[in-house]
Amino acid sequence: MKIHRVLLLLSLLLIAFTASAKDFSFTDTKGNPQNLVDYRGQWVLVNFWATWCPPCRQETPDLVALHNEHKLAVIGVALDSQRPAVKAFMTKYAVTYPIVIGSYTMAEYQVGKVEALPTSYLYDPTGQLVSFQEGMLTRQEIETYIMLKQKQNAKSK
C-alpha cells in the first residue's frame, strides 16, 4: 500500500509545469527577503500551511529535517493572521527555515492559487517550477521525487 501511495504521488508530481517560474519575493518574519533567484543551485520548496491544519503540523518535522540537512531550501508561508500563533508553532516544531506571514491573495500573486492546505511548490536548482502538490508531503516522497528528477536530467544530457 505504501508503494502505491508513493507511485500515486509521483504520478501527480510528474505532471510538472513546463513554463518558466516567475521569481517570487517574500519577506520572512525576521524581515529578510526570500527571493527565488537567491536560491539558484538549490532545490526549493515553498510550502503554504496554517497552524490550525493537522496535515501541515504532521509534515513540518520532515520539512525541518530536509532543510537542516541541506537537501532542499524550504520557505514556509503561514496563511494565518495570528502572528503569535505562528511564532508559537515555530518554537514548538523547532522550525529553522524562513517563515513568511502570507495571505491567499499574496500566494496567488507570487506563485499560484492555493486552494488547500498544505500546498507546496517545488523548484529545481535552475529556478524552474517542476512540481505542485496539494496535501501533505513526506520526507521520503520529496527525496524520491528529487532523486528521480536528477536521474531523468542526467539521462537527457
Give residue-wise pLDDT tens across range 79-115: 987 889 999 999 999 999 999 999 989 888 888 889 9
Q: How many domains does the structure of the chain reveal?
A: 1
pTM to 2 decimal places: 0.83
What CATH number did the domain enclosing 119 receive? 3.40.30.10
Domain limits at 83? 2-156
10, pLDDT greater than 80: no
Collect all residues with Cβ–Cβ distance below 8 Å to 54 and sequence separation of at least 6. none
Query: Are 130 and 54 within 8 A, CB to CB?
Result: no
Query: Are 113 and 107 within 8 A, CB to CB?
Result: yes
